[in-house]
Structure 1
Amino acid sequence: MSTGSGASSAPAPDPHDTRTALDTPARKNSMFSSLRVRNYRLFFLGQVVSNIGTWMQRIAQDWLVLTLTGSSAAVGITTALQFLPMLLFGLYGGVLADRLRKRPTLFVTQSAMALTAIALAVLTLTGRVEVWHIYVAAFALGLATVVDNPARQAFVSELVGRGQLQNAVSLNSANFQSARLVGPAVAGLLITGVGTGWAFLLNGLSFVAPLAGLMMMRARELHAVERAPRGKGQLREGLRYVSGRPELLWPIVLVGFIGTFAFNFPVYLSAFADDVFQGGAGVYSLFNTLIAVGSVSGALLAARRGTARLRLLILAAMAFGAVEIVAATVPELWMFALLMIPLGLFAMTVNVTTNTSLQMATDPAMRGRVMALYMMVFLGGSPVGAPIVGWITDTYGARVGFAVGGAIAVLAAAVIGLVLARVGGLRLSVCWHGGHPRVRFVPRERQEALAPVA
């Protein structure tokens, strides 16, 4: 890891040491320090506009499908088609992201997304839209994100360098979730006022901002990152790289379970808004907005906190699942709505902690493939999970579906937490400190030293 100007003589921590990742104290950062970098500032501002449009389209797309079909399972199918390309081709997208120059690659992928949104807008505004059109548009958008996601994730390191990487990743998440505060609200107004087609059109036009930002960047100020040469076996090389590093493998497995079963908010929240609380598009937008409030808080706390720790990831994942279980049981709309705030906070903590820990522990030449695998598992799990949770929701009700997703998150976090602790040479220590019980993981040799003498 890079150090500040006052370098210490202490040895640097081994990035492959899981115990270090679990126990190293966090380093404090300025919350917005990476915005001092001009290229990153242009990238950030462009994403602000584009992300608002993206959230508008997400809400409009889900609600349009629900309106046309009346089925939560159809919403799940739409989500599945959007993320199916990531599941099928995600690793190949990572290989391309490691080979290609990031800035021109992003220019192509962002342009493709804009054209997809505009095509869907034309169909909707002319009254010709059918469900299969939305399915095709969702799949086309997914194809573009296969390369766009890993390239955009890896491009951040070229914009800010290693020293500001964690802060920039956290601010990217805060950016995305801040747009979630505005996008759903605007989408709700557009849907109820003039129709879903205008949300699609505005999303298409919003891509002008990131495309302009990419064009205005100064190439000489980008941090040079070694690109992988063209060659055979690069996909297998990426898989071997991850499988041999527990600090990469197990967080990806954890977010795979959570992304597949617990992060299917379009299915769960649309069902709660429509079936449980008999609300409309405004209630659905409200749920998404309140989740965004918590998500922005979680992302900004991550930017302030500094070094991501795997222990925090495990605890946040368990808390996230527990909040889902509680939310599934509450009887009143206002209680459910308020729980969306901590749900968003813990969800974003899981997301940012996983993202930053993976990027910091990965060699630059492998970053595209590692992040592609992460995105493939996290987002690509939806083609498997969305139809399943949609069927559970339609068959047994929204409350059962939400509770099942939360229970899977809690169980996966508990099991993987124990696996990481064992791999890292840690044991669970329960002792009294200041008159209160204290539960934590400690090195095995320390656990033995703390054991009472017979």
Structure 2
Amino acid sequence: MSIVAEKHASVFRSLKYFNARLFFAGLLLSNIGSWLQLTASSLLIYRLTGNAADLGYNVAFQFLPMLVMGTWCGALADRHNRRRIALISQAALAVQALLLGTLDLSGVINVPMVYALSLILGIIGAFDNPARRGLVTELVPQVDLPNAMSLNTAVMTGSRIFGAAIATALVGPLGTGWLFILNGVSYAAMIYGLTGLRKTEMYPAIMRPAGGSPVREVFKYVAGNRRLLTMFLVYVAVSTFSFNFGVALPKLADLSWGDDRAFGWVMSVIGIGNLTGALLTARLKMVSLRWFVGNIALLGLASIGMAFSSNVWLAFLWSIPLGVGGAAMIASGNAISQQESPPDMRGRLLALTAVAFLGSTPIGGPITGLIADSISPEWSLAYGGVVALVCAAVAAIAWR
């Protein structure tokens, strides 16, 4: 077998397992609904206030629980039944979406209500994220785990293609309220996928024994692994400042590209790049640090290019490499964390990557919004690209 053949394998090899097919099908439909809500909520707040900073505050409320509770919730997922936790949290997420839609359709919605419901969304998500992502590790054997994690990223980010496009097309005739309702209904697909998993075909996780200091243990493990430590430090910095598209793009679309709805179309094209980047990563049997760093650099260059695009067509061109770099970085981080971890710590390390990626948003989101309002919409996106390029250079030097 050639070196290339050993390094690469079927992009969709995890789908030969029934449980993986069922889980990812439900996840795809559910996440299309989630992108409906994410796109609609950004448009709703921007149209209510016209300020990018308010978008930043909203994502801060949404992801603050992940920063505060994420690692603890990961320890919980390592100790208890992940499918049961995911079922409960998915049902709770559906209720949140239906409540938001009802308040919007009734005409009483305002910014404080959106903030409050975003906080509730974040609390539920802090429990759901490590349990649902940890469950992926039980769908396939160890040899196919990097592929399954990359396909999970492909579904999570690639569903943006359809979700953002549908939201942009329907927000005019239906309004944002019905988009929230559609998201609530879409959780039925994920709940069906979870209930239909065949227990006899699962690859059960090794449960962490009771007692000890699970959160302290995972930090100690990362600190003692130079590859993981460097990856997480870079992951935190890039995630904090370079992924705030939902904050930067609505105002950039409105002022530079002529229509705030261009935000949704650009997000949809980014989704095409996301799907490509995640699937390219899924081809790798082992994900290297070089792949991780190279895609951070691609993300940085594309962010700067999009920021200074004079029209939406140029923005579309930059959206593809931006999406490729962003999704490949996320998929690489997830895969490397699993490659480097023992089975009983995978849930906690997945939670830690979620804390690094999502939990940093309460810091980066408001900063990005303030830059958009006080300096320029262009620099609210471009500064994140500069940060990504610097991080890629630092990581390349550190791993030499």
TM-score (normalised: structure 1) = 0.85
Residue pair 2:74, 2:350 contacting (<8 A) in 1 also: yes
Structure 1 or 2: more helix by fraction:
2
Residues 274-293 of structure 1 aligned to structure 2 (within 5 Å): 274-281=254-261, 283-293=262-272
Residue in 1 that maps onto 2:283: 304
Q: Which moved more, 1:25-34 or 1:401-410?
A: 25-34
Residue in 2 that maps onto 1:238: 218
Distance 1:27 1:205 in 2: 41
Residue pair 2:298, 2:325 contacting (<8 A) in 1 also: yes
Q: SS at the partner of 1:129? A: coil
Residue in 2 that maps onto 1:250: 230
Distance 1:401 1:180 in 2: 21
Residue pair 1:246, 1:420 contacting (<8 A) in 2 also: no
Q: 1:25 to 1:414 in 2, by over 3 A?
A: farther
**Structure 1: gaps (5+ residues):** 1-5, 7-23, 422-454
Pair 1:344-2:340 in alignment: no
Residues 422-437 of structure 1 aligned to structure 2 (within 5 Å): none
Distance 1:249 1:153 in 2: 21
Distance apart, 1:25 and its partner CA = 9.8
Residues 25-64 of structure 1 aligned to structure 2 (within 5 Å): 27-64=7-44
Residue pair 1:29, 1:167 contacting (<8 A) in 2 also: no
Distance apart, 1:214 and its partner CA = 1.2
Q: Which moved more, 1:386-395 or 1:168-177?
A: 168-177
1:385 to 364, 368, 376: 364
Residue in 2 that maps onto 1:417: 396
Residue in 2 that maps onto 1:144: 124
Residue pair 1:252, 1:378 contacting (<8 A) in 2 also: no
1:358 to 337, 344, 369: 337
Q: SS at the partner of 2:358? A: helix
Residue in 2 that maps onto 1:166: 146
Residue in 2 that maps onto 1:224: 204
Distance 2:301 2:168 in 1: 29
Residue in 2 that maps onto 1:175: 155
Q: Which amino acid aligns with 2:54?
A: A
Residue pair 2:256, 2:310 contacting (<8 A) in 1 also: no
Residue pair 1:26, 1:308 contacting (<8 A) in 2 also: no
Q: Which amino acid aligns with 2:381?
A: F
Distance 1:218 1:319 in 2: 40
Distance 1:335 1:143 in 2: 38
1:187 to 163, 167, 180: 167
2:178 to 192, 198, 202: 198
Q: Which amino acid aligns with 1:245?
A: N
Pair 1:68-2:57 in alignment: no
Distance apart, 1:164 and its partner CA = 1.3
Pair 1:404-2:376 in alignment: no
Per-residue Cα deviation, 1:219-256 (whole angstroms, up to 9, x for no partner): 12111221112213221111101111112111111111
Distance 1:27 1:147 in 2: 35
Q: Which moved more, 1:147-156 or 1:203-212?
A: 147-156
Residue pair 2:251, 2:260 contacting (<8 A) in 1 also: no
Between Structure 1 and Structure 2, whose CA radius of gyration is higher?
A: 1
Distance 2:207 2:295 in 1: 34
Q: Which amino acid aligns with 1:211?
A: I
Q: SS at the partner of 1:160? A: coil
Per-residue Cα deviation, 1:403-429 (whole angstroms, up to 9, x for no partner): 2111111111211221122xxxxxxxx
Residue in 2 that maps onto 1:315: 294
Residue pair 1:312, 1:353 contacting (<8 A) in 2 also: yes
Q: Which amino acid aligns with 2:371?
A: I
Residue in 1 that maps onto 2:304: 325
Identical-pair percentage = 37
RMSD: 1.6
Residue in 2 that maps onto 1:446: none
Distance 1:212 1:320 in 2: 35
Residue pair 2:7, 2:284 contacting (<8 A) in 1 also: yes
Q: SS at the partner of 2:15? A: helix
Per-residue Cα deviation, 1:384-416 (whole angstroms, up to 9, x for no partner): 111111111111111122221111111112112
Residue pair 1:43, 1:214 contacting (<8 A) in 2 also: yes
Q: Which amino acid aligns with 2:379?
A: V
Per-residue Cα deviation, 1:304-357 (whole angstroms, up to 9, x for no partner): 233210011111111211121222233232112211111101111111111111
Distance 2:221 2:99 in 1: 40
Distance apart, 1:217 and its partner CA = 1.2
Q: Which amino acid aligns with 1:217?
A: L
Q: Which amino acid aligns with 2:116?
A: V
Distance 2:168 2:298 in 1: 30
Distance 2:6 2:385 in 1: 28
Per-residue Cα deviation, 1:94-138 (whole angstroms, up to 9, x for no partner): 110111111111101111111100110110111111111111111
Residue pair 1:26, 1:307 contacting (<8 A) in 2 also: no
Q: 1:181 to 1:113 in 2, by over 3 A?
A: same
1:370 to 346, 349, 357: 349
Distance 1:108 1:33 in 2: 29
Per-residue Cα deviation, 1:23-51 (whole angstroms, up to 9, x for no partner): x9972111111111111111011101101
Distance 2:82 2:194 in 1: 10
Residue in 1 that maps onto 2:252: 272
Residue in 2 that maps onto 1:83: 63
Per-residue Cα deviation, 1:282-313 (whole angstroms, up to 9, x for no partner): x1111101101111111111122332100111
Q: SS at the partner of 2:11? A: coil
Q: SS at the partner of 1:159? A: coil
